[in-house]
Structure 1
Amino acid sequence: MVTSVPNDPSDDILSGEVSQELILPRDSYNASRNVSELIKPHFLAMDNGGKPVDPEGEPDLVLEVERKVKLRLRKGDQTRYLDLLALESGLLGEHPVHKVFRLQAMGVPLDDGLAEKLKPGRFADNLFHSVTFQYLQNKETSGVVAEVFPDGTFLAIPFDLPSEWYGEQTATEANLLDIQPG
């Protein structure tokens, strides 16, 4: 799967802001695996010309390319750019900025200009892919894409929760006694 977003001014229409608590760095990140082990098998990288290529090479920088955050991979004289959605998340449903923080914990440097855009209070959520989707007939919301799965489905973090998503009853825990192991 290739995840490249053209440099289209309409991208800004889909931008919004998620809650600040979702984008603050955690105290620590699991940096025990190699970056190559985190790349999902169904993703490709892009070369300098925008052609899809295998995501091979050593990660040397996290930077902004065509207004989105990418991981630069170097293999000899070849440069490839990998979208952050191609990397496994540390926690399912976390904001993709945490992939940046984990890459930093793994020793991959962050471009200075990008670092400024990721600071709390200056956070630029439009650096990450966003989508508008219909949740009820004739009702839409938008949010940042947190995960893309092999079948093309995605998980999004809404910028604003629709009023229909606020329930009067609190969520309850599943009763494990009702589960009959096979």
Structure 2
Amino acid sequence: MTLASQTPKTRDMEYSVWFSEPLMFVGAAGLIAISPYLFARVIFQLMQSHFPTSVQLVVVSLLFVIVCVWGWLISGKRRLQLFTQTYKLGILWPLLFSAAMLLFALMPFAALSSILADLGYITFETSVPKGEFWRLQDLYLWHFFNSVPSLKITETLLWEEPFQYKDRLSGALLLAFKIIVIVPVIASFAAWWKESTDVSKRSSE
């Protein structure tokens, strides 16, 4: 059906679909990805400003539980089931849950690193001011992009590692970040790429 042959009602319905789907995705991105991260960040800022270290560690532990469950959900057969369901909503929807996990996971890892730095258990070059845990998110984000195979993102962008760690405990935290967060997220991105390619091939046949 050509545009000229469409009735005004039909055109209005198509325009509505064109605009509603992107808006729905943007709204879901805000709800699933950005809102949990901002909520966790505000909560920990309050904890760090007004509560003792023991309470901060309890809050961070709860955030780590959420991250581990999230990573479990986007791994193995569960990832396939999730992708199958969300792919029906649009090609980018399966990516949303993995990107949301990455964004959320930056918080507890940066928060724990900040707590340990404040206590003197770990050290960074450049030093991180006490209470400014959000600065350490760049360290973990840098390691994520540096782990993306073949693209050499950090090298291409001339993005140097934001902080140099000087102890084994920091290295252990980074290793945990790679195992708990980077591996399942990159694996889900790869699975999404394969699925989108397969769908394109099937639609062109």
TM-score by length of 1: 0.28
Structure with the greater alpha carbon radius of gyration: 2
TM-score by length of 2: 0.26
